Structure 1
């Protein structure tokens, strides 16, 4: 097992926003590349454990805080369109690919990051050689969807786009109380949904629904069946509609939303499933 190194830096978007990036690697030449795509209100530093495990099986791992998240510039939890997320991913991936042009590139996305990962992969179908989603936000729970639609129906996304219409309850992310407390105590976590973000997310979901039956890239979809934030039916729909020859769906009974923050034995099981799926593609 090689020593995992890491570095951090900022890149600038085309509209001049500073984006915080983190890369994990070892001295050995990597076998493949993977981008880690975090969820709404959190940031990329939550993925150190997964990143280190990925480096140890031969990956060069990189991630950034989405615009308006963590240490990146932008209004917290706000975009007009999800292309503001995907454009930075393409930019970051292009920069890494310059150094490693011949290596396969994968993407992992959790929650909102799962929706972003799928949006990116369906926008440029040849860029990623595999996609992993964890509790992707590609179908809302009924209550959340109704809340957003009521506000959107009153055109509040134009009048008060920054208005917070919903808060993520920390107890919904994990059954592990230590991880919930860590989430609550992190000053860079902003657990709420704004009206305009909700409108942008609904547009993203519509695009994904339209593109789902044309998906052909390999993917692994992971979801807890006790996820009260992102409906498990979204992952089932993805698996059923996609035309991919290599596709796998794993549903974990009783698991909450953040699979990699569940109690230790359970999150290790999820991490092992991720590593095994990737190993099959790079060895």
Structure 2
């Protein structure tokens, strides 16, 4: 019979692997995916950003894509699956952990000034965008979930003609009623004159369970060591409420090509986020894709066959825009 110690060991949860793909060393894994990955820190006036670059191992680079992840996430876990997909299609991909997320500086998941959060990521993206290897290539901003909100703010902060197009995956432009912060709570904390702004004191609606359809992928995403698991901070929820209303009033300022995709069963961000953007954007080239029955995390959290449908649509859209609009002349 097994000893008590052996029985306890058998009941203990298995230690998660060091990477979402398992134990294979990073360089070996990225090489197997046709990707060269590098990591670095980028200094900004608001603190250091942890950044990643994904370059195709072979072939000519068609364009550049600048990616922002969602709330409580980072670029180093399953979000990198999106980065690698675009890289395999021939794009140079640049991603940064948002301020207050992952390995970037800032209070964990505190987004009390989203204009500053957007400006901080934008400083890195524009640094790359204007650099010699990439300045004449088509350039696209990509944002998932709350990263979509940050991405739209970056676009509003940019000079005209900086970006070729915008790509959104389940963007947070409209907060579902069950996810909205309590106005009485926000009012009460506001009476403390900002002292409560960083408090992790708002009700937690367990968003991760509403975002991921595939139970095995849910386990992997939940084991991300850089994922924030605390309650939402007061200032973050106040700012999300304020900035979602702001962008809804400014959708008409979007004039460049835009693709926005959403699952109809998204329990974290409303499909109306994408529908309103599509309806109100001034762009003559705009595309809306709704996926019946899919959840919030369209690429990392859906079964593989569903994720492939979304990726196919994204690939066709970006490749067509590169052909249509081409590179900038020097």
TM-score range, shorter chain: over 0.9
1:181 corresponds, among 219, 233, 255, to 219
Q: How does 1:85-96 map to 2 (within 5 A)?
A: 85-96=117-128
Q: How does 1:94-105 map to 2 (within 5 A)?
A: 94-97=126-129, 98-99=131-132, 100-105=134-139
Count residues with an aligned counterpart: 281
1:117 aligns with 2:151: yes
- Alpha-carbon shift at residue 103 of structure 1 (Å): 1.1
- Alpha-carbon shift at residue 85 of structure 1 (Å): 1.8
Aligned equivalent of 1:140: 175
Q: Deviations over 1:77-96 (max 9, x none)?
A: 10321122211222112221
The CA distance in 2 between the partners of 1:207 and 1:237, in whole Å, is 13
Q: How does 1:1-283 map to 2 (within 5 A)?
A: 3-15=34-46, 17-27=47-57, 28-45=59-76, 46-97=78-129, 98-99=131-132, 100-124=134-158, 125-145=160-180, 147-156=181-190, 158-161=194-197, 162-167=199-204, 168-191=206-229, 192-260=231-299, 261-283=301-323
The structure where strand makes up a greater share of residues is 1
Moved over 4 A (4+): none
Give the TM-score taking structure 2 as reference length. 0.80
Q: Is the contact made by 2:166 and 2:257 (CA closer than 8 Å) also made in structure 1?
A: yes
Q: Is the contact made by 2:214 and 2:303 (CA closer than 8 Å) also made in structure 1?
A: yes
Gaps of 5+ in 2: 1-31, 324-330
Decide which structure has the larger Cα Rg and report it.
Answer: 2
Please identify, of 149-158 and 79-88, the stretch whose mean Cα deviation from structure 2 is larger. 149-158
The CA distance in 1 between the partners of 2:220 and 2:150, in whole Å, is 25
Give the TM-score taking structure 1 as reference length. 0.93
The CA distance in 2 between the partners of 1:255 and 1:140, in whole Å, is 18
Gaps of 5+ in 1: none
